[in-house]
Amino acid sequence: MSYKLFYAPGSAAMGIRVMLEEIGAPYELLKTTIDMDKPRPPEQLALNPNGWVPVLIWGDKAMYECAAITVFLCDRHPEANLAPAVNDPDRGLYLQTLVYFSNSVQNAFQLDYYPDRFADTPADESSAQRRGIRRLRETWKVIDNQIGSNQWVLGERFSSVDIYLFMLTTWLDPSRGQPSVDEFANVKRIADAVQSRKSVQTVYKEWIAGDT
Ligand SMILES: N[C@@H](CCC(=O)N[C@@H](CS)C(=O)NCC(=O)O)C(=O)O
């Protein structure tokens, strides 16, 4: 099974690429941009009219939404052991955390990074950003408490949720007033452990070297 992935450095497509590396599936990157001042390729817009990444393509099918792609890939490649199976007791926590990442933590990032999508006028944008930054603290605290002393998000087993968590921590930017990952000791412990994986070292090489 081979895949194509609409991809831009620094974006949510990086987490999906790490999963493809972990799975060992062949993939091709279709380079695009997340720069709001640059156009998106028409092929990308045809598959995702929102214009954002990731977009995953296999055969003549395609899908977007990072959490959905995560579940899709893990279900398709159970041998990679990146998710609890449908009847596993941890399945609920796995789905809950992925969806919380997607609709609460990512939403908080969006308030700060894309305030025009939430504010009615340019004058209201700084208010949306301030709320987003506060929301980042609230949502990361929920995740930090949820993890507690667990080795990984799901306890003793590494999973795609840990990769997702790592990806989200790379977006935290204290220079914008956002919290530092250091504020969330349990999150930080897992992010550091994920960072040492070969897949992450490959995909996040520039970020780890401090070049992005
Ligand atoms: N809900 C989407 C959001 C994806 C998203 O926000 N992607 C960002 C990069 S991390 C992007 O493509 N931004 C550029 C844009 O929105 O046009 C998902 O989870 O896949």
Strand order through the sheet with 55-58 = 27-31, 3-7, 55-58, 61-64
How confident is the model over 84-95, as a mean pLDDT?
Answer: 98
pLDDT at 120 over 80: yes
CA angle 197, 200, 202 (to 5 degrees): 110
Ligand 1 midpoint to CA 202 (Å): 22
pLDDT at 138 over 90: yes
Q: What does the pLDDT read at residue 104? A: 98
Q: What percent of the chain shows pLDDT beyond 70? A: 99
Q: What does the pLDDT read at residue 1? A: 81
How confident is the model over 99-125, as a mean pLDDT?
Answer: 97
Which two structure tokens, joined as six digits, stand for 210?
A: 């401090």
pTM: 0.97
How confident is the model over 112-136, as a mean pLDDT?
Answer: 97
How confident is the model over 166-181, as a mean pLDDT?
Answer: 98
Distances (CA, A) of 85 to 5, 35, 73: 25, 37, 13
Domain positions in the chain are: 3-80, 91-197
Q: What is the mean pLDDT of the chain?
A: 97
CA angle 73, 78, 82 (to 5 degrees): 70
pLDDT at 43 over 70: yes
Ligand 1 midpoint to CA 48 (Å): 11
Question: What is the per-residue pLDDT across 174-202, written as a single tens digit (0 to 9) for each?
Answer: 999 999 999 999 999 999 999 999 999 99
Residue 40 has φ and ψ, to the nearest 5°, of -95, 150
How confident is the model over 96-112, as a mean pLDDT?
Answer: 98
- Supply the DSSP symbol for 156: S
Q: What percent of the chain shows pLDDT beyond 90? A: 98
Q: What does the pLDDT read at residue 212? A: 63
Residue 108 has φ and ψ, to the nearest 5°, of -65, -40
Question: What is the per-residue pLDDT across 59-87, written as a single tens digit (0 to 9) for each?
Answer: 999 999 999 999 999 999 999 999 999 99
Q: Is 52 in the pocket of ligand 1 (CB under 6 A)?
A: yes
Does the 91-197 domain belong in CATH 1.20.1050.10? yes
Ligand 1 atom showing the smallest separation from residue 109 Cα: 6
CA 29 – CA 35 distance, rounded (Å): 17
Ligand 1 midpoint to CA 102 (Å): 10
How confident is the model over 9-14, as a mean pLDDT?
Answer: 97
C-beta of residue 55 within 8 angstroms of C-beta of residue 62 = yes
Question: Whose alpha carbon is nearest atom 1 of ligand 1?
Answer: 65
CATH topology of domain 3-80: Glutaredoxin (3.40.30)
